[in-house]
Amino acid sequence: MASTVDLNVFSSVPALQSNLGVLSPDQIELAKILLENGQSHLFQQWLGLGVDDKEKLAFFEQIALLNSSYPGGLASYIKTAKELLADSKVGKNPYDGFSPSVPSGENLSFGDENFIKMEKRGVVEARNAAFVLVAGGLGERLGYNGIKVALPRETTTGTCFLQHYIESILALQEASNKLASDESQRDIPFIIMTSDDTHSRTLELLELNSYFGMKSTQVHLLKQEKVACLDDNDARLALDPKNKYRIQTKPHGHGDVHSLLYSSGLLHKWLDAGLKWVLFFQDTNGLLFNAIPASLGVSATKQYHVNSLAVPRKAKEAIGGITKLTHADGRSMVINVEYNQLDPLLRATGFPDGDVNCETGFSPFPGNINQLILELGSYKEELQKTEGAIKEFVNPKYKDSTKTAFKSSTRLECMMQDYPKTLPPTARVGFTVMDIWLAYAPVKNNPEDAAKVPKGNPYHSATSGEMAIYRANSLILQKAGVKVEEPVKQVLNGQEVEVWSRITWKPKWGMIFSDIKKKVSGNCEVSQRSTMAIKGRNVFIEDLSLDGAVIVDSIDDAEVKLGGSIKNNGWTMETVDYKDTSVPEEIRIRGFRFNKVEQLEKKFTQPGKFSVED
């Protein structure tokens, strides 16, 4: 029980004092924390004992959650908020004293000797990795009503992002376990960070689909909590406009993943199990797993503590720039500078043109695709010091130049890629640059905004995201020796895109280039209007001439030769307007749908050797 002396703090807040009788000792402690941190306004409108008592208890339940889900609790949140709001008010540059330069890192080029070597090394390492998907965001820019991981990655097979991610991890797991020197079998852990906005729908998607073939014990959902909103520069917490017994909350950002992993106890378990790597990735990059094996190989070869995946970046593109920041006092770090900060930073440090392309036609700063590979041992050590807290920022929209009032409440935010900011100078922080066509095609923008993207910059839309899958698969097969016809240009939802043959395959068919090459032989050609979906593991493309649509599915014990001349009317593409609400949302945001006129579809459910020929 709180002592009488302690209770004196309440005498200046009669509305709270008169209600102490309904509160538990723990709740009284929380009330004290609030008062000590300048939050007495929260109780101003409280009614007397006996009125709304349930709501008052619910208020303290929320306070308890806000307090326990933030490293250092609410007191620490409010203290940091005051500091950051004061910095923001005087316009302090977060990079004060640092000058930016272009860092050097690993450059991989698809299909060459080094790339193939890195991919093979990556597969060996995969069983020592845990995968972490951050999927707590609502995707406000996309404006899609469902959860983003449920969107089809491509609509030829309709496979959603989450299914593709899981099947990719399982394919890596199997390939990696085969190479294990001690023949032990490991299940790669898969963590999904959710939020109140995405949690139940993510869980439902997994359960309805039997976890897409993964063991349910292999998958862990960690839900991030929102943080309290702030009303003014004194970091007074904002009350929910609809309920005076509730604090208004907003998302804290993907940086929460570190404190959640820390408090989950999983890092400990993973170290004990002999794991070495934690790979973080985002919700809608359908090309990501093309880049994973090689970049994991780079991490292992270079013994990087931190490896960020990057692609060449167009100036002003909404992806962060990987930058070397050198301080006047000699310190330096390689870190993501977020896309809204890069231009002001450059202008403030002697680059009057800001964020512009150089002679290569790209920004000199590699673009961060927010796929991070962290070395588990050093990661756990660091989190033990920080408890997973990540450097935060605040971005208030002020009412006027006095910067005293906000247009709407703000909150602290954090980003997972800011993790290296607290690392000692001895940490090995690197990055790996790959081709855009191979590694990055996120689905973030709604059709209207995508159509307004400056010419030459990527759209990051559902349209471009799907087209990128076909382009990447076509280019990979081209490099494996298949004559895939050149694409045609088409305008879909106001965006000019290259339409390549609609080629898709399951991850187990080919995760790395050397495996794919083994599955392709002879003289093969695929016309631009063709569709090819390979769903079986042991399907061998041999002397194939395809002009139409073919779908092959087979069990692992069936060896299938896909060859000969296949010609049919195939699947045509029909344009759809994104405003046409008679078409399902996940289709109309792409601007097209398939008319499945004719196809050759074969399924092999018995062991043996077969061939698909027309």
Ligand X SMILES: O=c1ccn([C@@H]2O[C@H](COP(=O)(O)OP(=O)(O)O[C@H]3OC[C@@H](O)[C@H](O)[C@H]3O)[C@@H](O)[C@H]2O)c(=O)[nH]1
Binding site for ligand X (CB under 6 A): 134-137, 193, 195, 224, 251-254, 282-283, 318-320, 336, 338, 368, 370, 415, 417, 444
DSSP for 256-274, please give it: HHHHHHHHHTHHHHHHHTT
Q: State in angstroms the smallest separation of the CB of 197 from ligand X.
A: 9
543 or 586, CB closer to ligand X?
Answer: 586
133 or 472, CB closer to ligand X?
Answer: 133
What's the token pair of residue 202? 């993510």
What's the token pair of residue 311? 């692609």
Q: State in angstroms the smallest separation of the CB of 230 from ligand X.
A: 16
User: Residue 577 in 3-state DSSP?
Assistant: coil
Report the C-alpha gap between 445 and 462 in whole angstroms. Answer: 8
Report the C-alpha gap between 410 and 395 in whole angstroms. Answer: 7
Sort residue 303 into left (φ over 0), alpha (ψ -120 to 50) or beta: left
Q: State in angstroms the smallest separation of the CB of 439 from ligand X.
A: 12
Q: State in angstroms the smallest separation of the CB of 589 from ligand X.
A: 15
Q: State in angstroms the smallest separation of the CB of 136 from ligand X.
A: 3
415 or 526, CB closer to ligand X?
Answer: 415
Q: State in angstroms the smallest separation of the CB of 360 from ligand X.
A: 19
Report the C-alpha gap between 299 and 124 in whole angstroms. Answer: 12
Report the C-alpha gap between 581 and 593 in whole angstroms. Answer: 14
Q: State in angstroms the smallest separation of the CB of 158 from ligand X.
A: 21
Handedness of CA 18, 44, 88, 394 (dihedral sign): positive
39 or 368, CB closer to ligand X?
Answer: 368
198 or 501, CB closer to ligand X?
Answer: 198
Give the residue from 260, 204, 262, 281 showing the smallest Cα distance to 442.
Answer: 281
46 or 165, CB closer to ligand X?
Answer: 165
Angle at 245 between CA 243 and CA 247, to 5 degrees: 80
226 or 602, CB closer to ligand X?
Answer: 226
Q: State in angstroms the smallest separation of the CB of 593 from ligand X.
A: 25
Q: State in angstroms the smallest separation of the CB of 450 from ligand X.
A: 13
300 or 322, CB closer to ligand X?
Answer: 322
Report the C-alpha gap between 375 and 129 in whole angstroms. Answer: 9
127 or 313, CB closer to ligand X?
Answer: 313
Q: State in angstroms the smallest separation of the CB of 388 from ligand X.
A: 14
Q: State in angstroms the smallest separation of the CB of 404 from ligand X.
A: 28
Question: What residues are paired with 445 via a beta bridge?
Answer: 461
* CA 169 remoteness from chain centre: 15
Task: Report the residue closest to ligand X, judged by CB.
Answer: 137
Q: State in angstroms the smallest separation of the CB of 190 from ligand X.
A: 15
163-180 burial: b if 16+ Cβ within 10 Å, else e: bbbbbbbbbbbbbbbeee
**Residue ranges with strand state E in 292-362:** 306-313, 321-327, 332-337
Report the C-alpha gap between 251 and 256 in whole angstroms. Answer: 10
Q: What are phi and psi of 329, to 5 degrees?
A: -85, 5
**Residue ranges with strand state E in 434-521:** 483-484, 488-492, 495-499, 502-505, 520-521
157 or 445, CB closer to ligand X?
Answer: 445
Pairing relationship of beta strands 495-499 and 488-492 according to DSSP bridges? antiparallel
What's the token pair of residue 478? 């081209």
Handedness of CA 453, 456, 461, 463 (dihedral sign): positive
Sort residue 438 into left (φ over 0), alpha (ψ -120 to 50) or beta: alpha
User: Residue 506 in 3-state DSSP?
Assistant: coil
Using CA atoms, how far residue 462 sits from 152, 269, 440, in Å, is 9, 38, 13
198 or 493, CB closer to ligand X?
Answer: 198
Question: What residues are paired with 132 via a beta bridge?
Answer: 191, 280
Q: State in angstroms the smallest separation of the CB of 576 from ligand X.
A: 25
Report the C-alpha gap between 62 and 60 in whole angstroms. Answer: 5
321 or 507, CB closer to ligand X?
Answer: 321
305 or 444, CB closer to ligand X?
Answer: 444
Q: State in angstroms the smallest separation of the CB of 320 from ligand X.
A: 3
137 or 563, CB closer to ligand X?
Answer: 137
The neighbour count for residue 413, using CB atoms within 10 Å, is 19
User: Residue 28 in 3-state DSSP?
Assistant: helix
